[in-house]
Amino acid sequence: MTAEASKLANPAPLGLVGFGLTTVILSLINAGVLPAGGEQVVIPLAFAYGGLIQLIAGMLEFRTGNTFGTVAFLSYGAFWWWFALLVLLGGHGVLDLSQAASTIGVTLIVWGVFTLYMWIATFRLSKALWWVFLTLWVTFMLLGFGTLLGRHGLQVAGGWLGLVCGLLAMYTSFGLVTNATFGRTVIPLGAPQN
């Protein structure tokens, strides 16, 4: 087997586009661009693309020895499963979420804290990933505090920033795929900050 044939593909672009595309669609709903009833469309997308694809990418990152990619993709893949199950089970009366707004808000804030520490690790990674994680932890905080405090404006702001975050993740995926395909930098992703 040649060295070229045994080379592993980078799973990060797959995980990033799964995260990014799903985040874009949900964020359009959170921002009020698409109707709230559209969450029903996000549920299967969250299971299949945002969730499953990121879980697969995380397991592949483990195989390559990438701790950051493993933790990020497995965690955010699980986040999408949590979100989809929450909406699905809550929407069908399996879970009574009538008194759960504060707990959902705090959960989103804790996801923001987790994402903040993941963002700190991106200081050693590309500038594109730095921007993805910066916008993501702020998005979680806006959505979390908006839910916790009952401030719709914060949730809408979280939707708009989440849209930026999702588009940045898709751009980063695009750059990684394109640069790997061409064997050189075609799409700039920015050097680490060291």
- Number of structural domains, the chain? 1
Closest among 80, 79, 78, 59 to 12, alpha carbons compared: 59
b/e code 125-152 from CB counts within 10 Å (16+ = b): bbbbbbbbbbbbbbbbbbbbbbbbeeee
Angle subtended by helix axes 127-149 and 152-182, to nearest 10: 160
80 lies in a domain?
A: yes
45 lies in a domain?
A: yes
Closest among 59, 50, 60, 132 to 84, alpha carbons compared: 50
Q: Residue 29: what are its φ and ψ, rounded to 5°?
A: -70, -45
194 lies in a domain?
A: no
Which residues form the domain of 70? Answer: 11-182
Coil, helix or strand for 126? coil
Angle subtended by helix axes 12-30 and 54-64, to nearest 10: 150
191 lies in a domain?
A: no
For residues 123 and 114, what is the distance between their CA atoms, to the nearest angstrom? Answer: 15
Closest among 15, 23, 20 to 61, alpha carbons compared: 15
Contact, 156 vs 117, CB < 8 A? no
1 lies in a domain?
A: no
Tell which phi-psi region holds residue 193, choosing left (phi > 0), alpha (psi between -120 and 50) or beta. alpha
188 lies in a domain?
A: no
Taking only the tens of pLDDT, the chain with its 194 residues reads: 455 546 889 999 999 999 999 999 999 999 999 999 999 999 999 999 999 999 999 999 999 999 999 999 999 999 999 999 999 999 889 999 999 999 999 999 999 999 999 999 999 999 999 999 999 999 999 999 999 999 999 999 999 999 999 999 999 999 999 999 999 999 999 998 76
